[in-house]
A and B are shown apart, each in its own frame.
Chain A
């Protein structure tokens, strides 16, 4: 399936499957692909699918849409590997995979020599070392202009292929490589086979027929030649014409023509990772030329040299891609492991509390001790609140959740939190002050999301100044900045503060400094919610003095204050 993969920007790491005929891209939550980037317009571009092709069009964005660093105008057809830039966000486009590669094994036969009438023999071989230096050497006088041009063009194209290989899958990479080869070598058919890492056997990965050539024909490759290439690490030029015999212009053979093939090893840094095979039919008139003494071969030593060099580069790219996928996989597993450990730890602690609460109730019932029962029940309430917070925080990261933007009162939302946290602050002997900006207008935002975001920060602030002298103070305030078009919630505490070298980490998932009490979800959740609003959280902190968190987001006034905003509101009403 085709996809957009964000390789730079706030949404880095997000992958969007392009599975509908029209997708809108922009900063608004109403877009199919939402980019949290201030330089991306609310409604930035559209992507239209027609069959297997994808067309990108800018929707009059302020900063434009770029493909491979060029600003696009009108409809632009995307090719696999293209890099799309909008604002500060860089996206890699991967096209749909080639359906022709699915029945590969049906199209390619690897046969023992002499079977099926395949009499291919090796005409010329060349060591991998000899050929692979092609891209490394200075343009020599010995080479023909064809080889010189092919070399310089392939070099440029290789750099591109290598640059994108990191995020493309191997099949796509091989497909690109074979396409490049076909641009330069007059081959009819070709395939790339990779050594299966477990069985050590060659497996056809991609195969290609020149356009206009019949595709139904099976590609027959001699096992002997493949073995030779793999074992000797040499590229070979083969032909199924009988060399010893005089050219026999028997009508039947002239009709069939003969077949020449190039088969080269893909030598990577350490191993031969596979082979590239291409072949061509030599038409009868060429054979007649040969019969009359000319050079009838279509493939020459130069082709062999070029293909060996290409195969070497391809092998390096395959190795890189494999290495990269392994790394991504390892990182993913590590992240999953960390997630599970962290959640299990937190849930275990909550469970321990629930067991305590339940025991108090049980013991109280046995002793008819109402006070003990009440104590247990209150503890149970606190624990279920913890679990509920944990679940809500986890859901913030789920794909399904979408911020619900609607007109709401920021002072109301923050005021509710202060009231909610009043008891907790009192228990910890922390003074909780609330200073609303009375000039705060009704704004368009996701009240539930912002509630979570502010709640997490206030909870942290109270925990941070639990042991402050003479007593902890948390001050929550709001501020409307009409000139900057910003709304701000400030949460100040006189707590322990955050060391400078830890500041960058506090928004990372599962990094908690609160030992057993923290899930490591709170601040990442808050930051994510603010970014969904096109805003952010900033922190100032001094160890021993306290911290100040600013939660800022663009103040969008509801109703028809300006044309584009009203469009946004309609969008969300959908």
Chain B
């Protein structure tokens, strides 16, 4: 088996990160965590995760101080799942999946697995 796949979770909520970390780890994934968008951007550049789950609270976007560019250096699109009540346009990520809050974890986890599978 190749290197295990990695997911970056950018969410200010400790609980959300805890749930995703616990569940995704048990599914053999590597988890990277960031509390805010700016920190998330830095981590995305450094670790090049296979998928990003990004919480879209208004202050998260403001905190990033600009458009959220999670592009991969090889130009291939990286799957991004947005969580939030804010409009998806706010993030300037047209290709991203949008999951509106409050969401159920079951479908979210399944979607993460599907996206990782298809991007393989």
Contact = CB atoms under 8 A, between A and B. Distances in A.
Interface stretch (B1-9, B12-20, B38-46): B12-20
Interface string A504-534: 0000000000011000000000000000000
B57 interface: yes
Interface in A406-463: none
Nearest to A427: B14
A247 interface: no
B106 A359 contact: yes
Contacts of A379: 15, 18-19
A479 to B, nearest CB: 35
Given A379-B18, A515-B12, A355 B26 contact: no
Contacts of A516: 12-13, 57
B16 A356 contact: yes
Interface in B5-61: 12-13, 15-16, 18-19, 22-23, 26, 57, 59
A116 to B, nearest CB: 66
Contacts of A349: 13
A348 B23 CA distance: 22
Interface in B92-120: 101-106, 109
Range class of the A interface residue count:
20 to 34
Interface centre among A352, A353, A362, A372 (most CB of B within 10 A): A352
Given A352-B15, A353-B13, A375 B22 contact: yes
A348 B26 contact: no
A359 B13 contact: no
The CB with the most chain B CB atoms within 10 A, among A352, A356, A369, is that of A356
A359 B104 CA distance: 8
B101 A348 contact: yes
B15 A353 contact: yes
A121 to B, nearest CB: 69
A367 interface: yes
Interface string A342-386: 000000110111011101101100010100100100010001000
A357 B26 CA distance: 16
A356 B59 contact: no
Contacts of B22: 360, 372, 375
Contacts of A372: 22-23, 26
Interface residues of B, number: 19
Contacts of B13: 349, 352-353, 516
Contacts of B109: 359
B105 A356 contact: yes
B59 A355 contact: no
B46 to A, nearest CB: 22
B26 A369 contact: yes
Contact of B102 (A355, A362, A363): A355
Main secondary structure of the interface of A (DSSP, over half): helix
A516 to B, nearest CB: 7
A375 B15 CA distance: 11
A359 B26 contact: no
Contacts of A353: 13, 15-16
Given A353-B13, A369-B26, A515 B104 contact: no
Contact of A356 (B12, B15, B57, B85): B15
Contacts of A357: 15, 19
A241 B57 CA distance: 79
Contacts of B106: 359, 362
A370 B62 CA distance: 40
Q: Among B12, B13, B102, which residue has the most Cβ atoms of chain A within 10 A?
A: B102
A516 B60 CA distance: 11
B105 A359 contact: yes
Interface in B57-97: 57, 59, 85
B18 to A, nearest CB: 7
B101 A363 contact: no
Nearest to A345: B85
B102 A348 contact: yes
Interface of B: 12-13, 15-16, 18-19, 22-23, 26, 57, 59, 85, 101-106, 109
16 contacts: A348-B85, A348-B101, A352-B13, A352-B102, A352-B103, A353-B16, A355-B102, A356-B16, A356-B105, A362-B106, A363-B26, A367-B26, A369-B26, A379-B19, A515-B57, A515-B59
Interface of A: 348-349, 351-353, 355-357, 359-360, 362-363, 367, 369, 372, 375, 379, 383, 515-516
Q: Top 4 nearest A-B pairs by Cβ distance? A: A359-B105, A356-B19, A353-B15, A352-B102
Given A369-B26, A383-B15, 20 more contacts: A349-B13, A352-B13, A352-B16, A352-B101, A353-B13, A355-B104, A356-B16, A356-B18, A360-B19, A362-B106, A367-B26, A372-B22, A372-B26, A375-B22, A379-B15, A379-B18, A379-B19, A515-B57, A515-B59, A516-B57
